């Protein structure tokens, strides 16, 4: 009997050759893909499709070419279909159904659909694989962190600006200016410099001054964001049916980075909870205590107001920070990186840097406030206020124009049909089932010559010229309606031709914070440093499917200004 078992085992081992194992794995993946394909929502044949067309064979061709031709397909679809007010279908990655890209004329219709018909939250979760990247379904599916930001962030910006200004001054000088002198230019890697600034400034708003400069905490959050992006690329290539296994495997580093961060964040959260408890208990030592304005305080306030006791757990609060860390660090670094490349690639004869520097110095002198000596180890000087930042029309325009011409996504404003009965498009008459995805063509809209004069050109003051001309008019010649129209040219005002922050009721709730942050960083650079224009062509990003890979190797030349302005 024993000899028979040994013989059987030997025969089985002989069958398990490397070639057969590899073939079995390939067949398993093909079978998984076929199952995924059969379960995807089907779209009407009346909706045209770019790429290689429909059917199983063409679907395989689309998937094979998705990584290299997605952006080209987006541009093709805009010219062939969107400009004729027609929707079109664009192939998706291996793990997702195709997207229906709607024309600009249907923006209002889609965004007016209620959340129980089309869901932004469900779409974002699917696109970002949040059930895995955000450490589990419970943290991915909650909208709690979004509610906190919506309720508290914008109204607290005037209070936040002084603290943010401190972090901007400190982080920019460390990341960009360390070792520079007024005599010689120093070469700085632009991507790494932005990664040294944005996490610190962002975390002043999220976790407060106690740990926003903690190097290990910030590095853990940057590593979490990097892993998040990499995981999205990997899971794009794996059939969805296999995600319950592979999703947990590839996102293991996310847990590690979060755990490292909690060593610093959880003690701060626990102390804040104790401080609130002592204040509420009437402790005399806390009679004059007021909590710092940051996300930790805001989430505690909202949880207490709604008796949401589960949201008062320190580790839960630390997890609620993660989607904001991803959104705030990733997109802000991409945007800031693109803005400086665009500014430094502009023609020096146009005087863009000088125009921005003049505006920043003038507005800071007129609307800034005096800093306090010794605060956070910094000397006095003029400091930014919310009102002063709002008057930086040129800088606002330069950032918005970079968002337009150097967009970091080809499509945006994703929605998923969640209604069991599906969705009918009244303009074109087609009907799509539950599970369908709809989006808009960011690449085409932002580069349409019918919407923007010379659309491929970076014109830093494109949106500020009419605003400055209006402000220069005598009061009696100003038309209030024209003033309101021009105000909508600001970078935070979304529209059906400006989708960098999304649009509609689900537009990015943190865009006002991001605008303040970017303006303060760039203004500080211009007022305190000289930046040398780039020679040659602007470094260009690469595209992998719908994901942009920025030119992270790009460097700039920077030195201290001889006549720097404290800011």
Question: Which residues are annotated binding-site positions for heme?
Answer: 508
* Rg (the chain; Cα; Å): 26
- Rounded Cα distance between 310 and 322, Å, is 17
CA angle 206-525-390, nearest 5°? Answer: 65
The three state secondary structure string of 523-564 is HHHHHHEEEECCCCCCCCCEEECCEEECCCCCEEEEEECCCC
Chain centre to alpha carbon of residue 341: 18
The total number of residues written for the chain in this structure: 567
- Rounded Cα distance between 92 and 301, Å, is 41
Which residues pair with residue 530 across a beta bridge? 559
Residue 136 CB-density burial (10 A; 0-12 exposed, 13-18 middle, 19+ buried): middle
CA separation (Å) from 375 to 166, 445, 528? 8, 46, 19
Helices (DSSP H) in 81-143: which residue ranges? 107-111, 120-128, 130-133, 137-141
b/e burial code for range 43-55 (CB count within 10 A of at least 16 → b): beeebebbbbebe
Contact 434, 42 (CB under 8 A): no
Contact 354, 530 (CB under 8 A): no
Which residues pair with residue 557 across a beta bridge? 187, 532
- Rounded Cα distance between 511 and 108, Å, is 21
- Rounded Cα distance between 168 and 530, Å, is 17
Which residues are annotated as part of the binding site? 508
Chain centre to alpha carbon of residue 124: 12
The one-character DSSP state at 306 is T
Contact 235, 246 (CB under 8 A): yes
- Rounded Cα distance between 513 and 19, Å, is 55
Judged by DSSP in three states, 90 sits in strand
Contact 544, 237 (CB under 8 A): no
Contact 49, 89 (CB under 8 A): yes
Contact 520, 364 (CB under 8 A): no
């Amino acid at each position: 009997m024993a000899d028979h078992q040994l013989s059987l085992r030997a025969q089985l081992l002989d069958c398990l050759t490397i070639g057969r194992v590899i073939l079995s794995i390939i067949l398993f993946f093909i079978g998984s893909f076929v199952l995924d394909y059969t379960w995807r929502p089907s779209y009407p044949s009346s909706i045209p499709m770019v790429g290689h067309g429909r059917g199983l064979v063409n679907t395989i061709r689309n998937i094979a070419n998705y990584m290299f031709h997605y952006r080209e397909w987006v541009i093709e679809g805009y010219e062939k279909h969107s400009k004729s007010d027609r929707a079109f279908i664009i192939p998706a990655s291996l793990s997702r159904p195709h997207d229906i890209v709607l024309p600009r004329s249907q923006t209002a219709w889609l965004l007016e659909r209620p959340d129980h018909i089309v869901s932004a939250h469900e779409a974002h979760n699917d696109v970002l694989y949040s059930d895995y990247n955000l450490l589990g379904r419970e943290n991915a599916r909650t909208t709690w962190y979004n509610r906190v930001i919506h309720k508290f962030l914008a109204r607290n910006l005037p209070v936040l600006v002084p603290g943010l200004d401190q972090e901007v001054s400190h982080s920019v000088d460390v990341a960009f200016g360390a070792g520079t002198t007024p005599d010689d230019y120093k070469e700085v890697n632009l991507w790494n410099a932005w990664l040294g600034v944005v996490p610190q400034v962002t975390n002043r708003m999220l976790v407060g001054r106690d740990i926003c400069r903690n190097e290990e905490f910030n590095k853990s959050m940057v590593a979490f964001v990097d892993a998040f992006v990499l995981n999205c690329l990997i899971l794009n290539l794996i059939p969805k049916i296999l995600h319950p296994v592979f999703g947990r495997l590839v996102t293991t580093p996310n847990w590690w980075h979060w755990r490292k961060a909690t060593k610093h964040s959880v003690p701060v959260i626990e102390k804040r909870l104790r401080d609130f408890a002592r204040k509420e208990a009437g402790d005399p030592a806390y009679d004059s205590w007021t909590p710092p304005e940051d996300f930790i305080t805001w989430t505690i306030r909202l949880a207490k107001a709604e008796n949401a006791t589960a949201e008062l757990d320190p580790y839960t609060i630390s997890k609620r920070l993660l989607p904001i860390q991803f959104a705030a660090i990733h997109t802000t670094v991409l945007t800031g990186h693109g803005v400086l490349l665009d500014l430094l690639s502009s023609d020096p004869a146009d005087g863009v840097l000088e125009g921005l520097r003049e505006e920043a110095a003038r507005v800071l002198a007129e609307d800034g406030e005096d800093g306090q000596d010794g605060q956070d180890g910094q000397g006095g000087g003029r400091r930014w206020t919310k009102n002063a930042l709002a008057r930086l029309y040129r800088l606002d325009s330069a950032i918005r124009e970079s968002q337009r011409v150097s967009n970091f996504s080809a499509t945006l404003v994703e929605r998923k049909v969640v209604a069991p009965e599906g969705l009918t498009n009244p303009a074109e008459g087609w009907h799509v089932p539950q599970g369908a995805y709809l989006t808009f063509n960011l690449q085409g809209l932002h580069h349409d010559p019918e919407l923007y004069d010379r659309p491929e050109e970076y014109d830093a003051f494109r949106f500020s010229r009419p605003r400055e001309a209006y402000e220069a008019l005598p009061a009696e010649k100003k038309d209030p309606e024209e003033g309101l129209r021009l105000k909508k040219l600001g970078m935070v005002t979304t529209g059906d031709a400006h989708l960098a922050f999304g649009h509609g009721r689900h537009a990015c709730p943190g865009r006002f914070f991001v605008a303040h942050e970017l303006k303060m960083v760039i203004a500080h650079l211009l007022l305190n440093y000289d930046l040398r224009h780039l020679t040659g062509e602007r470094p260009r990003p690469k595209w992998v499917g719908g994901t942009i890979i920025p030119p992270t190797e790009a460097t700039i030349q920077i030195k201290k200004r001889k006549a720097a302005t404290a800011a």
